[in-house]
């Protein structure tokens, strides 16, 4: 039935900004959160921790309380260095700075320092203003114009272990401040709409990038390239939904254009094809992140470990004339033209003769060879004419041929 209410809804869908009717497309890799509730304004999804059955409302209340805590953490690599940066984020950040910095009548919890200005200052013990912990730079980032969207501060101090420990200990002594959990600053940035999941994943990849190709990919994703693609898909989906709802709710007398459903089918088919092509990329992104895997296989004493050491240009594996020296997978990552290559040395393929440990090593070698993106089968060139008989005796002709017939296998 065509009612005024349904007509208003369809008209609103057709003219409102394309926001939030379809969940954002993003892969929340390695997270421990569940998407439970869609925000009423339709522009974001709320994340909540996944609780076990019967955990009760008390655990949820405790979680919400922890999300409102003021947190702090060392943001630079631990250990001795010239500099270290400690971040603070949360509603009590301004009060914490008041207690850590020398007393001044111009400072308040709402405005402890001038915003986004590096100020050289002493950092004192809250328990004793005369006790100087260090001298460094302090930067105040009032929310929402900060990384997390909350009030934030950074302390740039000297990177000695004792200095870092003393400042962290001083922060921990301030009421309602606690050490941040792993990834909690990024999680708060997501909760406050500062970043979406694709951007967070890009930042993580950028931090973990070891090669030039990994860095370039991570920079593009952290800059919003993947988000823009998914947002474009979402807008097309919302447009399709609006057209379908208008077609359903309006009668033929309402001047709905001819061919609306045909147009929806055409656009939906094109969108489906775009998404399928995006997913069917031959695992390029995954391979670039994790590296191309190369397994070196072959009979004992064929030079597998020597080849690995030559490729790595260092002593990665033990080289010995005694057959069966390598019993487990030995792995190293190389940078080949900016692309990561994960090379694995494996146990020599032969009959284990009752040696359970070597038998397990051979099983792992075969499994690694089958799962690898590429394989190098290494044979002893001085005895190559007898290798086929030896290999047939080790694995059986059919199993050996199946291994050598895998794609991207070099002999």
Q: If pLDDT is split at 50, 70 and 90, which confidence band does 10 have?
A: very low
Q: Quickly list DSSP for 13-47.
A: HHHS---SSS------TT--EEEEEE-TTSS-EEE
Most confident of 3-12, 14-23, 130-139: 130-139
Q: Which residue has the higher pLDDT, 62 or 272?
A: 272
Mean pLDDT of all residues in 97-114: 79
- In angstroms, the Cα distances linking 352 to 17, 20, 365 are 68, 61, 13
pLDDT, averaged across the chain: 77
Report how far Cα 348 is from the mean position of its chain's Cα atoms: 36
CA angle 324, 325, 329 (to 5 degrees): 95
Mean pLDDT of all residues in 26-40: 31
Mean pLDDT of all residues in 130-146: 92
**C-alpha–C-alpha distance, residues 156 and 236, integer Å:** 46
What order do you get walking across the sheet with 292-297 strand by strand? Answer: 330-336, 339-345, 292-297, 374-377, 409-410
pLDDT digits (tens, 9 = 90+) for 66-89: 667 899 999 998 888 999 999 999
The three-class DSSP label of residue 255 is coil
pLDDT digits (tens, 9 = 90+) for 322-368: 777 778 888 888 888 888 889 999 888 777 677 788 888 888 888 88
Q: If pLDDT is split at 50, 70 and 90, which confidence band does 17 have?
A: very low
What HEC string does 218-244 produce?
HHHHHCCHHHHHHHHHHHHHHHHHHHH
Q: If pLDDT is split at 50, 70 and 90, which confidence band does 51 have?
A: very low
Asked whether 152 and 131 are in contact (CB, 8 A), the reply is no
Whole-model pTM: value is 0.61
Q: Which residue has the higher pLDDT, 34 or 12?
A: 12
User: What is the token pair recorded at 74?
Assistant: 């060392």
pLDDT at 53 over 90: no
Q: Identify the DSSP state of 254.
A: G
Alpha helix (H) ranges present in 45-183?
A: 56-67, 93-100, 161-172
pLDDT at 5 over 80: no
- At residue 180, the pLDDT reads 93
Asked whether 312 and 334 are in contact (CB, 8 A), the reply is yes
**C-alpha–C-alpha distance, residues 310 and 314, integer Å:** 7
Q: If pLDDT is split at 50, 70 and 90, which confidence band does 251 have?
A: low
User: What is the token pair recorded at 161?
Assistant: 């272990």
Task: Report the percentage of the chain scoring pLDDT > 90.
Answer: 27
- At residue 76, the pLDDT reads 92
Q: If pLDDT is split at 50, 70 and 90, which confidence band does 212 have?
A: confident
Q: Closest Cα partner for 19 from 271, 235, 243, 245?
A: 235
pLDDT digits (tens, 9 = 90+) for 294-321: 999 888 888 888 888 888 888 888 888 7
Mean pLDDT of all residues in 365-376: 87
CA angle 12, 18, 19 (to 5 degrees): 105
pLDDT at 177 over 80: yes
CA angle 95, 97, 103 (to 5 degrees): 95
pLDDT at 398 over 70: no
- At residue 74, the pLDDT reads 95
Asked whether 139 and 153 are in contact (CB, 8 A), the reply is yes
- At residue 394, the pLDDT reads 56
- At residue 18, the pLDDT reads 35
Mean pLDDT of all residues in 217-228: 85
Q: If pLDDT is split at 50, 70 and 90, which confidence band does 402 have?
A: confident
Which range is least confidently modeled, 108-117, 142-151, 395-404?
A: 395-404
């Amino acid at each position: 039935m065509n009612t005024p209410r349904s007509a208003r809804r369809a008209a609103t869908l057709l003219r409102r900004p394309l926001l939030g009717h379809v969940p954002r497309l993003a892969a929340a890799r390695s997270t421990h959160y569940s998407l439970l509730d869609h925000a009423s304004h339709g522009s974001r999804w709320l994340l909540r921790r996944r609780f076990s059955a019967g955990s009760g409302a008390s655990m949820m209340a405790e979680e919400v309380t922890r999300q409102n805590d003021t947190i702090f953490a060392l943001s630079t690599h631990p250990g001795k260095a010239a500099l270290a940066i400690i971040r603070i984020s949360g509603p009590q950040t301004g009060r914490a700075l008041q207690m850590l910095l020398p007393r001044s009548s111009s400072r308040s919890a709402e405005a402890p320092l001038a915003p986004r200005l590096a100020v050289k200052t002493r950092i004192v013990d809250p328990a004793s203003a005369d006790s100087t912990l260090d001298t460094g730079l302090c930067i105040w980032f009032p929310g929402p114009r900060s990384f997390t969207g909350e009030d934030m501060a950074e302390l740039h101090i000297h990177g000695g272990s004792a200095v870092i420990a003393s400042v962290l200990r001083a922060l921990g002594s301030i009421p309602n401040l606690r050490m941040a959990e792993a990834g909690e600053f990024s999680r708060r940035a997501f909760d406050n709409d500062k970043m979406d999941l694709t951007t967070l994943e890009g930042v993580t990849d950028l931090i973990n990038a070891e090669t030039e190709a990994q860095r370039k990919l991570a920079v593009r994703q952290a800059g919003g390239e993947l988000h823009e693609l998914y947002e474009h898909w979402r807008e097309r989906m919302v447009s399709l939904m609006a057209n379908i709802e208008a077609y359903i709710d309006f009668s033929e007398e309402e001047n709905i254009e001819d061919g609306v459903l045909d147009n929806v089918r055409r656009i939906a088919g094109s969108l489906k094809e775009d998404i399928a092509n995006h997913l069917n990329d031959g695992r390029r992104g995954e391979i670039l992140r994790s590296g191309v895997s190369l397994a070196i296989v072959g009979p004992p004493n064929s030079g597998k470990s020597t080849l690995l050491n030559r490729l790595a240009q260092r002593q990665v594996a033990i080289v010995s004339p005694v057959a069966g020296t390598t019993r487990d997978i030995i792995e190293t990552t190389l940078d080949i033209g900016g692309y990561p290559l994960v090379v694995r040395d494996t146990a020599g393929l032969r009959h284990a003769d009752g040696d359970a440990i070597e038998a397990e090593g051979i099983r792992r070698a075969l499994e690694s060879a089958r799962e690898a993106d590429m394989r190098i089968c290494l044979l002893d060139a001085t005895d190559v004419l007898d290798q086929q008989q030896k290999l047939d005796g080790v694995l059986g002709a059919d199993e050996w041929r199946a291994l050598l017939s895998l794609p991207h296998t070099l002999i």
